[in-house]
Structure 1
């Protein structure tokens, strides 16, 4: 028989054991993260943590994200980057965006930085000046931003509109300065920043890294191999293969709101014979990732992905190497990149899909896929393994420095000098990504040269003996830094800038940094940062940023004078100068620092001095029996998945209205309720808009809309819609839209009849089926854009349906609860009593970024009132109609109506706000109809990264 006291003692022991077990489990689950042997961060006790609570010991930051359309003129303007006179834009493959990321110190909110990734070539001085002016004019709340804390980086796409340069030499291929092109870049970037500012909230930051082994090769390996062998042995590859990812999470629910990556690969996947505007591989990777995140429960609505450049100077996306495209089947010369005929003109790098004769489109998609796959896989792993950004404060500094004849001392005690800007002979030879002209070759340091070029370029400016000595061993072709007629040819004054966010340090280079230059620079910065940080520094380099000062090669690479060395404009000591200037100023990044450096000697502002020789006829004509928008060629009644489907319309110049935040082309799908819903627009890589003139004097033109259904299509009944704006001589512009007849898209081996009423579950909405101009026919009393989209919120991107009546809610009535309805509602018709696009997103008035509708009434606010008053870019409100109670696109930003960034939709009444629904309550509605398609990655995520060497 047990003693009476045994049971209580057993119970006490049991409870004690349970308490100890609970304590152990609690510690295992909620202990702070620790580092494994490789220095990776992970949470003990599992692969992740509860999303219901913030992690211990992680610093909060102010975080904000914003995105806006910056697509400039897609026709009648040279594309920037390759400097090819024949590469004049004739259409659009994918819209361009600025993506802004703001990070601030919660304890000291004035300590903050803005990092912008533009889908453009570079962040030029002229663009930076315009953005700073625009922010200053936007209101007192933006006074916290200035030169010291704004970085303008770019994806470095060579397929974007040019003619916005501050300096003369790069303006020559673009025939000067185009204010419409410039205005689109500046106004869109300002808008992205203001959206990011309005979305500021507390959040967390962490960093992860991954390796991408097959997205770039070194295009100047001959020069790279002249770096010291012992230095090269420290690294496993001839390019940097590490992608660094900064994750942004909001503190309220730990949802991911954005990511920012740094990885080096040139934006030259699209060849120099491509004439369609696009953001190249990084712009496309952003779109792929943002599309993927729409199906990811960990991501907030309106997720933004920025793919920034790093030390890309010699990193080419043409991973199959350089070959002579002259029929010889030979590789280009390893040393000079020339072919057997001694010229570089036939030498071209091959991308991974080079057998597709499509101007590099397929290769671009593949390189983008490899980056997007890496980013999404890394993001998914960061809940279990990442490095939290922690520590004291957010800091940034910026100053200008004149590199002409600047003396400084190397660490070994040697006194050296940088030079006025100059470009060498191999600059004219181009690269294997974009070959040069005539008989120039790469590696011209000690080679005999055609004396003709000395005579030709000597007429412009003969370099002084001092300049020749300073630039040696570079043979000088363009002595740009010493030429000032008609205005400065090249920059001598550059931006020196760095950011620090916790232990993350961002070097902002004005030059394209080569692989080894970036490694040396990052190592020097990390060594200095270790003196004042209590955590291991994480250093990335962003290049090019803020201005454009060509390239930055190591002294050893400079001596070889390949393209990158010939384009290192300040001489052989340029890299050491940049290291000296940045490392020597890192005291401004230390915790507790409140000082800022003297701004230095200001660069010239050449925007008013620049010329514009890009002359074209600025009106539209049409055959007498035609109307704008008439369908000249209908799609076939039925197509199979994988087909390219095309229609041709009577067109008008897209320069009449850039349709920022909207679209020129759309694919609409017939739903089971009989309504048409947009599922593709200009954002979609696989929907291509092409414009061409058919009669030069009368300015007749045609537009092709082509849908490459191999990319991201599903079976269904569809039609094309074309949006345009015609401009007659001495008359205002008139918007129009037109639709084709419906067509069926079927899977391989499937057959459908050509379609009748009820083909997809209902009639084709009462519109006449004949194509041509859609004259607001029929009625819509159902819910237009996503009432019952199919449960996945995939309805369309910017409901642009026309009709006499809309009494349903237009943009995502029942989107599926995720608010993904679409971004640029552009409905035309007599009445809208539903809410157009998120009516009152968050009470901050950010609803209308580019509400460009025309008609009798606008009582929503369009794009932010009188933003800048600086007369730059001519955003010009060009709306037609009886009344505008709201403010259109910067209503009186400059009053010059330049370029019509403006706002020209038709309709009698819009009381909703056009462009920025309430995706996540932060005003980040999206700038241009970004919610497209089936929300998948066009099969890109199925293929994993594979090492590949040419």
Structure 2
């Protein structure tokens, strides 16, 4: 989260208003599922699965686009950044991978979301359990977020992450849960025999370390092992059924989805969403298909200190946010294409996994992982430098405020009154565990380790910096390499969310990433210790205790759905009428812009649908050529004032005519919904522009 909390002097007000509901600490207990049973002998790594190259694979994609107007966006936490339309729809992309040799399976999901919150995971697993019994559980379902900063928020059960929306937004939460669930159902229903092949290679000139001074505090001998101060390695899995059907790909590359800046108000998957769109468009993906269709997941890794804005600050090299996003997304897409075409190395082995819940504010870390005396994690707190934001989204003040180098009176005051010895250099601005009956942010968090053949996925509910990710990968690799694991991938922002993790050395600098490391300076060491145990158990085929059960706060949230009071229009018109029409003709490269009298998009988010269609006439019929998820279109909602109620809306539809558009006769269609002030019913409407020619 960038420019965290709130700018412009309203921090205290925002903190107070963000408090929503109350909760209780959940009971402890639970049993491991079959995937964690003792005596499996590490079959996912060897044993009966040794040398096996056959899997059951299936993919699915589903819409998770929430309210497209007047909902705070999640990521930068800028109060003025409210959704005001759609540039790209958000998608959940799911893969189910099953191993015939040991009967185990795993779900991997990459969702176009800012974060993947614990409440979402709990509800998705509950839905899967209701549908499939014990086939899917916390243990073998891995949900991750791409970390786009351009989606609607309000879908966490913890107040810290609902600041931009001043509380919980039920409609957005429900759309996200339903969409992730449906993507998994589609992947499950399309399981078939197939192969998974691997390719990896560097992608240069697409990422920059935004905290290089903190990175340089890591030991010189450690830094010398790496050519760059960010991870340039892209890792890609290609899924192909034995029938020859191309199922899709999962691509991991560490870079923030912050090409779109903090003033941007359109819903967008940012650079990773655009890369997915390009690959799926090239493969002819049908988002409304119920059968097999190609799914391209551009997933997140250890991007904590990695920006796509390679020219510094918020500059991605383009003339505006759209061009910067296009540049970054195309780089990722182009490299993924080359890796996809060269992915011939088969994954061998089976599927296995281990999962544990850890109370992250109470871990004792052995000297083997601290490199010195015994360490301890701390009650969660954020530092002053978190308010400063990162270079992608600057906030209030400056990064680097530490108790060793107090920059101002406020720093001195907080170091004297609130900083604990456990949090060391961090001047605390908010102790999140102090809020009762439940804290601002979760402290019982899921850690998950998955192996698919010789590839290990390390699923963490954090944003790890470059070096933190490298250390964690090496910890897991050391345990699993003797069993045949050749590739270790950090799956960041997975299954829950609780801030950043910096190395101990980076933490001392208290840049944005260190100040956002909730559980203190030994958090990374604690994570290495816990994953070392998971890797050992997976290798030896032994179980791990499930750990403390996290809270389930779903029933305690406010599920009232106030939505829109009603919609209005001019007395002489109808919903869907054109306010500003298209011209009679356009040339390729020009932009068509049509404004309609419409309804509020909160009435219906049009999941798996569209708010616009660009149509070309063929004889007596109109064929769709573009929708609201296409890169060349934009759907904008704007308050359109009219008497006597001032409850009117304008829907502005734009189509940037592609340079290769087929000449002919076109029109713009807008589809929406309006709510009656008399009976409260929501009714659909449709409107069309005049026809126009493209020359």
Fold match, TM over 0.5? yes
CA distance in 2: counterparts of 1:247 and 1:404, whole angstroms: 38
Per-residue deviation, residues 135-171 of structure 1 (Å, max 9, x unmatched): 122244xx21000001110110000010011211121
Query: Structure 1, unaligned stretches of length 5 or more?
Result: 1-55, 323-348, 747-950
* 1:448 and 2:406 matched: yes
CA distance in 2: counterparts of 1:468 and 1:496, whole angstroms: 26
Residue matched to 1:698: 646
- What is the deviation of 1:641? 1.1
- What is the deviation of 1:611? 5.1
Q: Summarize the Cα distance change of 1:676–1:548 in structure 2 as closer, same or farther, 3 Å threshold.
A: same
Residue matched to 2:442: 491
Per-residue deviation, residues 75-104 of structure 1 (Å, max 9, x unmatched): 110010100000001101111110001111
CA distance in 1: counterparts of 2:403 and 2:335, whole angstroms: 39
Of residues 342, 345, 350, the one that matches 1:381 is 342
* 1:350 and 2:315 matched: yes
**1:210-359 paired onto structure 2 within 5 Å:** 210-253=201-244, 255-294=245-284, 302-322=293-313, 349-353=314-318, 356=319, 358=320
Are 2:564 and 2:603, in contact at CA under 8 Å, matched by a contact in 1? Answer: no
Q: Summarize the Cα distance change of 1:62–1:436 in structure 2 as closer, same or farther, 3 Å threshold.
A: same
* 1:427 and 2:386 matched: yes
Q: Which segment drifts farther, 158-167 or 597-606?
A: 597-606
TM-score, length-normalised on structure 2?
0.88
* 1:669 and 2:630 matched: no
Of residues 717, 723, 739, the one that matches 2:671 is 723
Of residues 131, 150, 154, the one that matches 1:138 is 131
Are 2:411 and 2:427, in contact at CA under 8 Å, matched by a contact in 1? Answer: no
CA distance in 2: counterparts of 1:244 and 1:661, whole angstroms: 30
* 1:642 and 2:589 matched: yes
Residue matched to 1:122: 115
Residue matched to 2:351: 394
Are 1:617 and 1:699, in contact at CA under 8 Å, matched by a contact in 2? Answer: no
User: Higher relative contact order by CA 8 Å / sep ≥ 6: 1 or 2?
Assistant: 2
* 1:371 and 2:371 matched: no
Per-residue deviation, residues 597-635 of structure 1 (Å, max 9, x unmatched): 222112222334345899764210111011000011111
CA distance in 1: counterparts of 2:689 and 2:452, whole angstroms: 52
Are 2:672 and 2:684, in contact at CA under 8 Å, matched by a contact in 1? Answer: yes
- What is the deviation of 1:711? 6.8
CA distance in 2: counterparts of 1:234 and 1:543, whole angstroms: 23
Residue matched to 1:605: 552
Query: 3-state SS of the aligned residue for 2:293?
Result: strand
Per-residue deviation, residues 169-206 of structure 1 (Å, max 9, x unmatched): 12122210010000000001000001100001111011
Are 2:634 and 2:654, in contact at CA under 8 Å, matched by a contact in 1? Answer: yes
Are 1:76 and 1:616, in contact at CA under 8 Å, matched by a contact in 2? Answer: no
CA distance in 1: counterparts of 2:574 and 2:99, whole angstroms: 57
Of residues 417, 429, 437, the one that matches 2:376 is 417
CA distance in 2: counterparts of 1:680 and 1:545, whole angstroms: 33
Q: Which segment drifts farther, 706-715 or 263-272?
A: 706-715
Residue matched to 1:631: 578
Aligned residues: 636
Q: Summarize the Cα distance change of 1:199–1:488 in structure 2 as closer, same or farther, 3 Å threshold.
A: same
Higher alpha-carbon Rg: 1
* Greater percentage in strand: 2
Q: Summarize the Cα distance change of 1:712–1:361 in structure 2 as closer, same or farther, 3 Å threshold.
A: farther
Residue matched to 2:490: 541
Per-residue deviation, residues 619-678 of structure 1 (Å, max 9, x unmatched): 10111011000011111111111111100000101111111111001100112x332100
- What is the deviation of 1:413? 6.0
Per-residue deviation, residues 805-853 of structure 1 (Å, max 9, x unmatched): xxxxxxxxxxxxxxxxxxxxxxxxxxxxxxxxxxxxxxxxxxxxxxxxx
* 1:680 and 2:623 matched: no
Residue matched to 1:192: 183
CA distance in 2: counterparts of 1:711 and 1:223, whole angstroms: 45
* 1:569 and 2:569 matched: no
Are 2:208 and 2:310, in contact at CA under 8 Å, matched by a contact in 1? Answer: yes
- What is the deviation of 1:562? 0.2
Are 1:100 and 1:114, in contact at CA under 8 Å, matched by a contact in 2? Answer: yes
CA distance in 1: counterparts of 2:229 and 2:70, whole angstroms: 39
TM-score, length-normalised on structure 1?
0.65
**1:923-934 paired onto structure 2 within 5 Å:** none
Query: 3-state SS of the aligned residue for 2:528?
Result: helix
CA distance in 1: counterparts of 2:548 and 2:641, whole angstroms: 51
* Greater percentage in helix: 2
Are 1:454 and 1:477, in contact at CA under 8 Å, matched by a contact in 2? Answer: no
Residue matched to 2:469: 518
Residue matched to 2:361: 404
Are 1:294 and 1:301, in contact at CA under 8 Å, matched by a contact in 2? Answer: no
* 1:86 and 2:71 matched: no
- What is the deviation of 1:715? 2.7
Are 1:445 and 1:560, in contact at CA under 8 Å, matched by a contact in 2? Answer: no
Per-residue deviation, residues 675-719 of structure 1 (Å, max 9, x unmatched): 210010022021100011123953111110001224763433211
Are 2:365 and 2:522, in contact at CA under 8 Å, matched by a contact in 1? Answer: no
CA distance in 2: counterparts of 1:743 and 1:454, whole angstroms: 66
Q: Summarize the Cα distance change of 1:682–1:588 in structure 2 as closer, same or farther, 3 Å threshold.
A: farther
Are 1:96 and 1:283, in contact at CA under 8 Å, matched by a contact in 2? Answer: yes
Per-residue deviation, residues 851-909 of structure 1 (Å, max 9, x unmatched): xxxxxxxxxxxxxxxxxxxxxxxxxxxxxxxxxxxxxxxxxxxxxxxxxxxxxxxxxxx
Q: Summarize the Cα distance change of 1:613–1:731 in structure 2 as closer, same or farther, 3 Å threshold.
A: closer
Are 1:462 and 1:479, in contact at CA under 8 Å, matched by a contact in 2? Answer: no
CA distance in 1: counterparts of 2:581 and 2:364, whole angstroms: 67
CA distance in 2: counterparts of 1:176 and 1:608, whole angstroms: 15
Q: Summarize the Cα distance change of 1:380–1:138 in structure 2 as closer, same or farther, 3 Å threshold.
A: same
Are 1:175 and 1:612, in contact at CA under 8 Å, matched by a contact in 2? Answer: no
Are 1:58 and 1:388, in contact at CA under 8 Å, matched by a contact in 2? Answer: no
* 1:362 and 2:350 matched: no
CA distance in 1: counterparts of 2:76 and 2:660, whole angstroms: 30
Q: Summarize the Cα distance change of 1:718–1:549 in structure 2 as closer, same or farther, 3 Å threshold.
A: same
Residue matched to 2:431: 479
**1:145-184 paired onto structure 2 within 5 Å:** 145-184=136-175
Q: Summarize the Cα distance change of 1:452–1:443 in structure 2 as closer, same or farther, 3 Å threshold.
A: closer
Of residues 657, 667, 670, the one that matches 1:709 is 657
Query: 3-state SS of the aligned residue for 1:209?
Result: strand
Of residues 675, 683, 689, the one that matches 1:734 is 683
Query: 3-state SS of the aligned residue for 1:130?
Result: helix
Are 2:353 and 2:448, in contact at CA under 8 Å, matched by a contact in 1? Answer: yes
Query: 3-state SS of the aligned residue for 1:584?
Result: helix
Query: 3-state SS of the aligned residue for 1:722?
Result: strand
Are 2:563 and 2:603, in contact at CA under 8 Å, matched by a contact in 1? Answer: no
Are 2:88 and 2:267, in contact at CA under 8 Å, matched by a contact in 1? Answer: yes
Are 2:574 and 2:597, in contact at CA under 8 Å, matched by a contact in 1? Answer: yes
CA distance in 1: counterparts of 2:72 and 2:610, whole angstroms: 21
Residue matched to 2:40: none
Residue matched to 2:31: none
CA distance in 2: counterparts of 1:352 and 1:444, whole angstroms: 33
